[in-house]
Amino acid sequence: MSEQYGKVTDEIAARLGEIVGSGNLMYGDAEAMEDYAGDEAGPFFRHAPEAVVKPESTEQVAQIMKLANQHRIAVVARGAGSGLAGAATPLQGGIVLSLEKMNHILEIDMLNRVVVAEPGVVTNDLCRTVAEQGLMYAGYPMSTETSFIGGNVATNAGGGKVIKYGNTRAHVLGLEVVTPTGEVMQLGGKYRKDTWGYNLFHLVVGSEGTLAVVTKVYLNLVPLPGKTVDLLVPFPDIDTAVSSVAALVRSPKVTPVAVEYMDQYSVILATRYFNTSWPLQDTAQAYLIVQLEGADQEELEEQYENAGDICLEQGAMDVFVAESRSDSHNLWKVRQEWGPAVRAADATSYSACDVVVPLGQVPAFMAKVAEMENERKMRIPTVAHIADGNFHPKSMRPEGLPLDQWPEVAESVYHEMIQTAVELGGAGSGEHGVGYSKRPMFLANTPPHQLEILKGIKQVFDPNGILNPGKIF
């Protein structure tokens, strides 16, 4: 695979302008292109592109890729830029192919319960639109209000509802993609089963924009649940919260949609950020947010009464029921916007880690995070999709540590967390992906033969190595 990449010359920029229109091309203006230099991984993972193009059709994407492949120019397909692993960083400069203008919901097929959307549709907009038809898209990343559907596909995004509904891959029925050589492929479609050769669209899901550019997504829809309720449950210590999660998951009387964890310091920072407060936050060491669904009010009440009893039996300090839609919204807002709240407290805080461990190894991983806090004299506020063992510890710079020393320290903490997760039988990413920031740890923890197979797949899709180079491998 070639490591030599061409540059975007004036002539190539002119050709790009002909393809997408001059209004959809950014070239020669470094300040204007700064927003496209990276994603939410943070300031350590940024690199300026040479050009930004904003295609409005599959045909335009295909022409861009053919041109780039001909001249061996690196291309990074970009969604909303809400990723957290540096996958949208144009390490080789080249072209950032922004899909922000391919933002249309093309069809809601009520008969087949399928929505067809372009990759630039905001996840929450799609959720609201299909809900108006009495249907639900059950893929639900925490970045639902900012992320694009295409980005969800690229990272196989998870989120709070994975425990009941699964991650993005569970909801993708088909894709239209453009290969790095500019060929358009239709993979899957409006059907839910096949045994028709290798399933390529499942391979593209989670490939972080390294194999193909997604231009159309076919998503499975399910009927809207009748009613939902959210519980806020404080605990005197972390171990009691973990035992409650295990009890909830194994109970035949409760089917949680989501079980989210926040430690005390995370709650303090996030509620301060939103100028609100949670009950018992001065004494509770951990919180769970438990979401439940029921076909009707009677079933819902039975669900939350059983869930509340289980938590109290395990040692919860209390169980609070969100009384209104507004209460639920405010509750989830604290959880969803936890990242910005930590950054507000420490602008140099490191991108949240994203590891996953088996549920039975959750206490061991949390003990390791606490040990790292004590040894390094630093704060690591942590939230988690705890029912599926997916943790997001976010390191804050220790008091007195010089800023120029912080990246190396933060990186070592990041790697130690990933190594711990792998040793506990888990993985270094549950939903954010490998991208650029986790590449060294991915390479170090993947068997050589497996790496060779993966590199072979990349070579077949992308013989010149132009699509999102430097990510994963």
Domain assignment of residue 468, yes or no: no
Instruction: Assess whether 188 and 233 both reside in one domain.
Output: no
Cα–chain center distance at 180: 24
Q: What is the pLDDT of residue 161?
A: 86
Instruction: Assess whether 235 and 326 both reside in one domain.
Output: yes
Nearest residue to 88 via CA among 30, 48, 31: 48
* Distance between CA atoms of residues 354 and 427, nearest Å: 9
Instruction: Assess whether 173 and 202 both reside in one domain.
Output: yes
The two tokens of residue 16 are 């790009």
Tell me the pLDDT band of 3, cut-offs 50, 70 and 90. Answer: low
Domain end (from 296, 321, 340) = 340
Instruction: Assess whether 252 and 359 both reside in one domain.
Output: no
Q: Tell me the pLDDT tens digit for each residue of 296-315.
A: 889 999 999 999 999 999 99
Q: When comparing pLDDT for 419 and 40, which is higher?
A: 419
Q: What is the pLDDT of residue 114?
A: 98
Q: Residues of the chain with pLDDT > 90: what percent?
A: 86
Task: Return the residue matching tokens 């420490």.
Answer: 346
Instruction: Assess whether 236 and 218 both reside in one domain.
Output: no
* Maximum Cα–Cα distance across the chain: 71
Bridge partners for 51 per DSSP? 27, 95
Domain end (from 223, 244, 274) = 223
* Distance between CA atoms of residues 273 and 259, nearest Å: 23
Domain assignment of residue 118, yes or no: yes
Domain assignment of residue 449, yes or no: no
Domain end (from 101, 134, 164) = 101
Instruction: Assess whether 116 and 206 both reside in one domain.
Output: yes
Instruction: Read off the pLDDT of each residue in 415-423 and give the average, rounded to a whole number.
Output: 94
Q: What is the pLDDT of residue 2?
A: 44
Range name among 96-100, 221-225, 286-290 with the lowest pLDDT average: 221-225
3-state class (DSSP) for residue 349:
coil
Domain assignment of residue 439, yes or no: yes
Q: What is the pLDDT of residue 40?
A: 85
Domain residues for 14? 10-101
Q: What is the pLDDT of residue 420?
A: 96
Domain assignment of residue 469, yes or no: no
- The answer on pLDDT for 1 being more than 60 is no
> What is the number of structural domains in the chain?
4
Please report, for the domain that includes residue 384, its CATH number: 3.30.70.2740
Bridge partners for 52 per DSSP? 26, 96
Nearest residue to 168 via CA among 195, 143, 185, 134: 143
Instruction: Assess whether 242 and 336 both reside in one domain.
Output: yes
* Distance between CA atoms of residues 127 and 144, nearest Å: 9
Tell me the pLDDT band of 337, cut-offs 50, 70 and 90. Answer: confident
CA distances to 86, 183, 225, 399, 406 from 403, in Å: 21, 46, 49, 10, 5
Q: Tell me the pLDDT tens digit for each residue of 43-84.
A: 778 999 999 999 999 999 999 999 999 999 999 999 999 888
DSSP H or E stretch at residue 408: helix 406-423
Instruction: Assess whether 212 and 120 both reside in one domain.
Output: yes
Beta strand residue intervals within 81-183, DSSP E? 95-98, 105-109, 114-117, 135-136, 172-178
Instruction: Read off the pLDDT of each residue in 137-165 and give the average, rounded to a whole number.
Output: 87
DSSP H or E stretch at residue 238: helix 238-250
Please report, for the domain that includes residue 91, its CATH number: 3.30.43.10
Instruction: Assess whether 118 and 57 both reside in one domain.
Output: no
Instruction: Assess whether 436 and 403 both reside in one domain.
Output: yes
- The answer on pLDDT for 403 being more than 80 is yes
Please report, for the domain that includes residue 268, its CATH number: 3.30.70.2190
The two tokens of residue 149 are 């559907």
Instruction: Assess whether 315 and 211 both reside in one domain.
Output: no
The two tokens of residue 384 are 């988690």
Q: Tell me the pLDDT tens digit for each residue of 429-471.
A: 999 999 998 899 899 989 999 999 999 999 999 999 999 999 9
Tell me the pLDDT band of 107, cut-offs 50, 70 and 90. Answer: very high
Please report, for the domain that includes residue 122, its CATH number: 3.30.465.10
Q: Residues of the chain with pLDDT > 70: what percent?
A: 99
Instruction: Assess whether 134 and 213 both reside in one domain.
Output: yes
Domain assignment of residue 325, yes or no: yes
Domain assignment of residue 1, yes or no: no
Nearest residue to 13 via CA among 73, 77, 81, 80: 73
The two tokens of residue 79 are 């969604």
* Distance between CA atoms of residues 340 and 406, nearest Å: 19
Quote the mean pLDDT of the chain: 94
Q: Tell me the pLDDT tens digit for each residue of 350-399.
A: 877 899 999 999 999 999 999 999 999 999 999 999 999 999 999 999 99
**Long-range residue pairs from 8-16, CB within 8 A, at least 24 positions apart, any chain:** 8/50, 8/51, 8/73, 8/93, 8/94, 8/95, 12/51, 12/67, 12/71, 12/73, 13/51, 15/67, 16/51, 16/53, 16/64, 16/67, 16/95
Contact yes or no for 31/74 (Cβ under 8 A): no
Domain assignment of residue 470, yes or no: no
Reported pTM: 0.92
